[in-house]
Amino acid sequence: MGNRTIKVDYLARVEGEGAFKVVVRDGKVQEAELRIFEPPRFFEAFLRGRSIDELSDIVARICGICPVAYQMSAVHAVENALGITVDGPLRELRRLLYCGEWIESHVLHVTMLHAPDFLGYQGGIDMARDHGEAVRRGLALKKAGNDILTLLGGREIHPINVRVGGFYRAPRRRELAPLAETLKRARDQALETLRWVAGFDFPDRERDYTFVSLRHPDEYPFNEGHIVSNRGLDIAAADYDDHFGEIHVAHSTALQSRMTDGGAYLVGPLARYSLNFDKLSPAVQQAAREAGLGEVCRNPYQSIVVRAVEALHAVEEALRIIADYQEPERPAMAIEPAAGVGFAATEAPRGMLWHRYVLNGDGTIAEARIVPPTSQNQACIEEDLTSFIGGFLDLPDEALQHRCEQTVRNYDPCISCATHFLRLDVDRG
Amino acid sequence: MAGGGKPCRVIGLGNPERGDDGAGRAVARWLAGRLPPQVEILERGGEAADLLACLDGAGAVYLVDASAPTGAPGRIRRFDAAAAPLPAESFAFSTHGLGLGEAVELARALGSLPPHCVVYAIEGQAFDPGAPLSPPVAAAVAEAGGLLTREIAG
């Protein structure tokens, strides 16, 4: 039992393709590697020379789960370059669209992809035979998210209504009314889902993570805010390069992000929640406490509970936006092309998504840089495997492999996005 | 007509912006006006949560979708999904979520698969963005429509 290799060649229930390998020598985890082997996707290169009018539709194609995040970071970065601030009802509609994506993405992961790890099933379909009510509820809740995307985005996947300056078309108040009825039911479904996952057994493991997320003075972050950490970082998106860097590691086609001091950091629900608990509504804070969470959560296995809290928040926020919505005079602000450099970070479901664009005077893109959340979390995922798996080595290979997979899925890794990512190897020698 | 008093639905699946992936939806359009008025004809992208909602409460469902190429473009196959799972290799699963085969299995696990659930698959050839249906698939649309019309009437 002293030396083992656990190797997963194609990790299931994650978005995209990747693998991992854990090497155990003399009863200790010597090495944990997360390997991303989708081919690099070259999005940054083929945005060069394209018009800013095409940008939001091209970047939406990077990911089928979080297209809105790519659209939001892209249009905000271009607007930053052009010196434009989109405010009022258009800003609220963007937040509403983001609520839809968080609901869809979080609920799919919580219910169909991650819950089977805690309940001992191979997958969501197996689990559905015994936990039909929870699955039905999750699917209905996910559909509420789809409905938001369909109404605001034009369709449920890869929405087509987002542009620099706003939208191609803004909805009428009366169009949002049926959505509000769906979302009222969704609020109960989200609360039930939170109570369901709160009852799971969580391995008692914590790490002192460096959490990084956006923070905004008035709201739980989606589109806007400073990049902050629990170690005192507080910077604008434009200063990202001074504090973070990307390195290439041989075992992966995704770049790994690190702090400039070389340290790993964590983005996503745990970081967002721990840095912004005070920005959740009192009702959502109360629901989180009843689910067993404190104001800070350092146990990555409880990320499933935090995602359910964030799904509840997104439903509540969507209801608030719809109730307060005033139709804008125009669906988008007028845009004048200009040369410039723009930056933006927004909160994708999996964590902070940073974009930088250099624009030409004719409205075309000269340079694009995209740093997705999963590439930022890769180093943390490897450190979790190294730190935690040592405590589970008494498990037989199959159970140990399952625990490793669960540990990776704590991050809801989006490998398609990160490739520029899963198999499992545990080498026990 | 199957269904035992519950709704009967024909659901054309696919993305009409991706060549032959639009075959199922082309069949749904061909069937408009050719089926008894109580039969609901729907067109859907195929997202699983949405598809499950479409299956829910129906007595009979006929799903029409494009299948993966094997060298016989336009070939029409009929599967009784109520009797057995769909062959995985014909309905290539997306890494982006749950495909038709998984949606059917999820409905079966949840006990919400309609008692009569038939899948017609039209084998695709090319799935290029913005392309029309390829000639053999376009030719199969009316043939599949005819088969469905006779099966539903029978």
- What would the pLDDT profile of A174-224 be if each residue is shown by its tens digit? 999 999 999 999 999 999 999 999 999 999 999 999 999 999 999 999 999
Smallest CA-to-CA distance from A105 within A44, A152, A149 is with A149
Contact flag A108-B97 (C-beta cutoff 8 Å): yes
Give the pLDDT score at A172: 96
- B17 pLDDT exceeds 60? yes
- A421 pLDDT exceeds 60? no
Give the pLDDT score at A413: 82
Q: What is the mean pLDDT of residues A21-32?
A: 84
Give the pLDDT score at A378: 87
Cβ–Cβ under 8 Å, residues A209 and A351 = no
Q: Does A124 touch chain B (CB under 8 A)?
A: yes
- Domains of chain B with CATH codes: 8-153 (3.40.50.1450)
* Paired sense of beta strands A166-167 and A212-215, if any: unpaired
Give the pLDDT score at A66: 87
Contact flag B96-A17 (C-beta cutoff 8 Å): no
DSSP string, A67-78: HHHHHHHHHHHH
DSSP H or E run through B72: none
Contact flag B47-A156 (C-beta cutoff 8 Å): yes
Cβ-based neighbour number of residue A184 at 10 Å: 12
DSSP A110: I
Q: Give, rounded to a whole angstrom, the gap between the first and last alpha carbons of chain B.
A: 6
Complex-level ipTM beyond the 0.95 threshold: no
The pair of three-digit structure tokens given for residue A132, joined into one six-digit string: 């039909």
Give the pLDDT score at A316: 98
- A10 pLDDT exceeds 80? no
Smallest CA-to-CA distance from A217 within A226, A230, A229 is with A226
Contact flag B106-A143 (C-beta cutoff 8 Å): no
Give the pLDDT score at A13: 63
Contact flag B106-A15 (C-beta cutoff 8 Å): no
Instruction: State the alpha helices, DSSP H only, in A83-114.
Output: 88-107
| Number of Cβ pairs < 8 A linking chain A and chain B | 50
Q: What is the average pLDDT value for chain A, to the nearest integer?
A: 90
Determine phi and psi for A135, rounding to 5 degrees: -70, -45
Contact flag B95-A416 (C-beta cutoff 8 Å): yes
- Cα–Cα distance measured from residue A172 to residue A152, given in angstroms and rounded to the nearest whole number: 10
User: Looking at the whole model, is its pTM more than 0.95?
Assistant: no
Q: What is the mean pLDDT of residues B56-76?
A: 94
Give B45's contacts in chain A (Cβ within 8 Å): 155-157
Residue A186, min C-alpha distance to chain B (Å): 14
CA distances from residue A338 to A354, A407, B4 in whole angstroms, order as listed = 21, 46, 64
User: For A134, which residue in chain B has the nearest alpha carbon?
Assistant: B110
Give the pLDDT score at A423: 47
- Cα–Cα distance measured from residue A249 to residue A235, given in angstroms and rounded to the nearest whole number: 27
Share of chain A above pLDDT 90, in %: 68
- Cα–Cα distance measured from residue A348 to residue A76, given in angstroms and rounded to the nearest whole number: 13
- Domains of chain A with CATH codes: 4-428 (1.10.645.10)
Q: What is the mean pLDDT of residues A159-164?
A: 94
Amino acid at A361: G
Give the pLDDT score at A82: 98
What is the band of B104 on the pLDDT scale with cuts at 50, 70, 90?
very high
Q: Does B53 touch chain A (CB under 8 A)?
A: yes
- A156 pLDDT exceeds 90? no
Q: What is the mean pLDDT of residues B32-50?
A: 91
Q: Is the Cα torsion angle A256, A163, A46, A50 positive or negative in sign?
A: negative
Quickly tell me which residue has 């689910």 as its tokens.
A291
What is the band of A354 on the pLDDT scale with cuts at 50, 70, 90?
very high
Considering only the beta carbons, identify the residue of A64, A65, A142 that sits closest to B49.
A142
Q: Does B106 touch chain A (CB under 8 A)?
A: yes
Considering only the beta carbons, identify the residue of A64, A125, A128 that sits closest to B97.
A64
Amino acid at A88: G
Residue A199, min C-alpha distance to chain B (Å): 22
Cβ–Cβ under 8 Å, residues A95 and A321 = yes
DSSP H or E run through A186: helix A173-198
Contact flag B106-A124 (C-beta cutoff 8 Å): yes
Q: Which of B50, B100, B108, B112 to mutate to test the interface with A (most CBs of A within 10 A)?
A: B50
- What would the pLDDT profile of A94-117 be if each residue is shown by its tens digit? 999 999 999 999 999 999 989 999
- Cα–Cα distance measured from residue A12 to residue A301, given in angstroms and rounded to the nearest whole number: 18
Q: Which of A58, A125, A150, A419 to mutate to test the interface with B (most CBs of B within 10 A)?
A: A125
Give the pLDDT score at A40: 55
Give A135's contacts in chain B (Cβ within 8 Å): 106, 109-110
Smallest CA-to-CA distance from B62 within B98, B21, B93, B104 is with B104
Smallest CA-to-CA distance from A209 within A379, A404, A20, A34 is with A379
Quickly tell me which residue has 């009437």 as its tokens.
B153
- A79 pLDDT exceeds 90? yes
Contact flag A15-B96 (C-beta cutoff 8 Å): yes
Q: What is the mean pLDDT of residues A382-390?
A: 89
- A157 pLDDT exceeds 80? no
Considering only the beta carbons, identify the residue of B49, B94, B105 that sits closest to A139.
B49
Share of chain B above pLDDT 70, in %: 92
- A374 pLDDT exceeds 90? no
Contact flag B50-A143 (C-beta cutoff 8 Å): yes
Give the pLDDT score at A31: 83
Cβ–Cβ under 8 Å, residues A414 and A350 = yes
What is the band of A32 on the pLDDT scale with cuts at 50, 70, 90?
confident
Contact flag B97-A65 (C-beta cutoff 8 Å): yes
Q: What is the average pLDDT value for chain B, to the nearest integer?
A: 90
Smallest CA-to-CA distance from A187 within A257, A98, A259, A287 is with A287
Contact flag B96-A157 (C-beta cutoff 8 Å): yes
- A91 pLDDT exceeds 50? yes
- B133 pLDDT exceeds 60? yes
b/e sequence B66-76, b meaning 16+ C-beta within 10 Å: bbeeeeebbbb
Share of chain A above pLDDT 70, in %: 92
Considering only the beta carbons, identify the residue of B52, B95, B111 that sits closest to A139.
B52
- B94 pLDDT exceeds 50? no
Give the pLDDT score at B3: 66
